[in-house]
A and B are shown apart, each in its own frame.
Chain A
Amino acid sequence: MLRGALCTTYCPEILKLATQSGIFVYRQPSWKRKYSPPQVGDSLFCGDNMAASTGKGGVTSFQKKSRTKTLQIPGTRPSSQGNQLLVSTGVPSLDHIIGGGIVVGTVLLVEEDSFGNYARLLMKYFMAEGIMTRHPLLLSSAELHPKQLLRDLPAPVSDDIGKAALHQEDVSSEKNVEKEATMKIAWRYQNLRTEQPELGAFSKFGHYYDLSKTMSSEMIDTAPSRLFYLPDELPLEEQGMWNSIRNPAYVKLLQSIQDVVREGQFDLTVPQPKDVSRTVLRIGLHSLGSPLWGEQDGGTSHDTSLPHFLHALRAVLRTSLTACLITIPTHLFQDMAFTRRLEKLCDSVIRLESFAGSEKEQNPAYKDYHGLLYIKQLSQANSLLSYMPDCNDFAFKLRRKKFAVEKLHLPPELQDSQQREQDDPVAALKTPSTGCFSTSGKSKLDF
Chain B
Amino acid sequence: MEDSCVRGQFVLISDSLTDGSFLIHHFLSLYIKGGWKVCLLALAQSFGHYNAVGQKLGVPLTQAREKGQLRFIDGLKCSLQMYTCAPQEGQGENPLRALRDKKATLRPLYDLVKTQICSEEGVLEGPTLLLVDDLSVLVSLGVSAKDVSDFMHYCRVLMCPTQQGYCRVLMCPTQQSQGAIVSLVHKDADVEDEENSTLFRHMAYHGTVHLAVEGLSSGYSRDVHGQSNLY
Contacts and interface: CB of A to CB of B under 8 A. Distances in A.
Contacts of A234: none
B59 interface: no
B67 interface: no
Interface stretch (A206-214, A334-342, A401-409): A334-342
B188 A309 contact: no
Nearest to B74: A315
Contacts of A392: 220
A389 B186 contact: no
A318 B46 CA distance: 7
Interface stretch (B31-39, B76-84, B110-118, B125-133): B76-84
B204 interface: no
B49 A314 contact: no
B225 A388 contact: yes
Interface string B61-79: 0000000000000001101
Nearest to A392: B220
Interface string A230-256: 000000000000001110000100110
B141 A308 contact: yes
B195 interface: yes
A258 B186 contact: no
A316 interface: yes
Contacts of B25: 384
Given A82-B56, A318-B46, A312 B22 contact: no
Nearest to B79: A311
A246 B53 contact: no
A307 interface: yes
A311 B21 CA distance: 17
Interface stretch (A114-122, A288-296, A375-383): A375-383
* Most chain A Cβ neighbours within 10 Å, of B84, B195, B222: B84
Contacts of B142: 245, 302, 304, 307-308
Contacts of A218: none
Interface in B203-231: 220, 222, 225
Given A304-B142, A311-B137, A340-B191, A318 B48 contact: yes
Contact of B100 (A245, A307, A382, A383): A245
B49 A312 contact: no
Contacts of B56: 82, 383-384
Interface string A251-266: 1001100100000000
Interface in B127-161: 136-137, 140-142
Nearest to B19: A380
B53 A383 contact: yes
A390 B222 contact: yes
Interface in A311-365: 311-312, 314-316, 318-319, 336-337, 340-341, 344-345
Interface in B1-38: 19, 21-22, 25
Contacts of A302: 142, 195
A82 B52 contact: yes
A181 interface: no
B121 interface: no
Contacts of B222: 388-390
Contacts of A308: 79, 83, 99, 141-142
Contacts of A385: 22, 225
B193 A337 contact: yes
A386 interface: yes
A389 B186 CA distance: 23
A255 B80 CA distance: 10
A82 B57 CA distance: 13
B199 to A, nearest CB: 13
Contact of A312 (B57, B80, B191, B192): B80
A64 B224 CA distance: 26
B137 to A, nearest CB: 7
Contacts of A311: 76, 79-80, 83, 137, 140-141
Contacts of B46: 315, 318-319
Contacts of A382: 48-49, 52-53
A340 B84 contact: no
A383 B50 CA distance: 8
Contacts of A251: 83-84
A345 B48 CA distance: 17
Nearest to A317: B46
B19 A312 contact: no
Contacts of B49: 318, 381-382
Interface string A119-132: 00000000000000
Given A245-B102, A304-B142, A308-B79, 11 more contacts: A245-B99, A251-B83, A307-B141, A308-B142, A311-B79, A314-B76, A315-B76, A337-B193, A382-B52, A388-B222, A392-B220
Interface of A: 82, 244-246, 251, 254-255, 258, 302, 304, 307-309, 311-312, 314-316, 318-319, 336-337, 340-341, 344-345, 380-386, 388-392
11 contacts: A251-B83, A302-B142, A314-B76, A337-B191, A337-B194, A340-B193, A345-B140, A384-B53, A384-B57, A388-B225, A389-B222
Q: Which 5 A-B pairs have the closest CB atoms?
A: A304-B142, A337-B193, A315-B76, A315-B80, A382-B52
